Amino acid sequence: MTPPPSLAIAGTPAERFRSGLLYGIGAYVLWGVFPLYFLLMRPAGAFEIVAWRILFSLVFCAILLTATRAWKPFLAIARQPRLLLLMGLAGALIYVNWQTYILATLSDQVVETSLGYFINPIATVLLGVLVLRERLRGLQWIAIAVSGVAVVVLAVGYGSVPWIALILAGSFGTYGLVKKHVGPRVDAVSGLTLETLWITPVALVIVIVVSQTTGLAFGSVSVWTTLILASAGVATAIPLLMFAAATRRLPLVYVGFVQFIVPIIQFVIGVFILHEPMPPARWAGFAIVWLALAILIVDMVRGARGSRAAEIEPG
């Protein structure tokens, strides 16, 4: 696929690094403020919001494929049964992630969504062991153990397991494994198109059920509500394309660091803007999670330095 001109790679390595960093920060900042964006969609319910997000994402992707003349490579991907099924799995995972996230946001649990994305890097490491049979370094094992303690502390403090955080981390981490498996064979726009195409029947069923029960907010509450629901496709695709542009320009370790922008922004929104409760048990649980992340970051830095040293070592 030919990338849109604004996302094309050009310039010196330093210029590509700077542009990649800007794309990455931009994508993660947009994802970070999503709670406020979805709260603006009230009185639409969580299921209706996700349904319109799927349908308008599909429409926007079709427009992008047309504008970039990328239908031919898209159809080539769609004709490969294995890739098609993997995109179906990715679609199911991203539906679970979107639905859980928006249900939590509309029920005033933004802080717990931030917890999910704080532990996502650790969940990804754990999935690497369970699914890909990867061998972990000592600090990675310590980070996983410490994060397990955090989940126990949160569960004891609240009297229940933080299911929202675990579902978000698990679904997005597994989604990342699927995307890693397909790799460069599926570009960002074609991938999102196929994923949303797979779950479009689910979105259509939701729209029909909501229209026959509680009634749709789209087209009936106000022009503002209709417009912001319709904008969900653009809002979904733009940070994804920015993220794809960042990953093509930045070393993976920098992408790993920048991803922490999302849960930090969500945590700030939940605690200081939406004023969600933060009892001592929750502060303790988050503090332990942050300790686990600090250990993981140290390991990432050491790993990156080791890779650079190996690259410059004479053969």
Give me 74's structure tokens: 């898209």
Share of the chain above pLDDT 90, in %: 54
pLDDT digits (tens, 9 = 90+) for 64-108: 999 999 999 999 999 999 999 999 999 999 999 999 999 999 999
What is residue 135's predicted lDDT score, i.e. its pLDDT?
77
Q: Is residue 32 part of a domain?
A: yes
pLDDT value at 7 more than 80: no
Per-residue model confidence (pLDDT) at position 159: 77
Contact of 261 with 28, CB cutoff 8 Å:
yes
Sorted by sequence, the CB contacts under 8 Å of residue 269 that are 6+ apart come out as 32, 33, 35, 36, 110
In a domain, 97, yes or no: yes
pTM: 0.86
Residue 304 CA neighbour count, 13 Å, CB half: 14
What was the pLDDT predicted at 80? 95
255-280 pLDDT, tens per residue?
A: 777 888 899 999 999 999 999 999 89
Domain presence at residue 98 = yes
Give the pLDDT confidence score for residue 253 in this predicted structure. Answer: 64
Note whether residue 20 is domain-resident: yes
Report how many domains make up the chain. Answer: 1
Residue 310 has pLDDT above 50, yes or no: no
Structure tokens at 225: 């509500």
Give domain status of residue 275, yes or no: no
pLDDT band at 297 (very low <50, low <70, confident <90, very high): confident
Residue 303 maps to a domain: no
Residue span of the structural domain in which 57 resides: 15-134+162-261
Question: Which of 18-32, 88-102, 149-163, 203-217 is the least confident region?
Answer: 149-163
Domain contains 248: yes
**Is 188 contained in some domain?**
yes
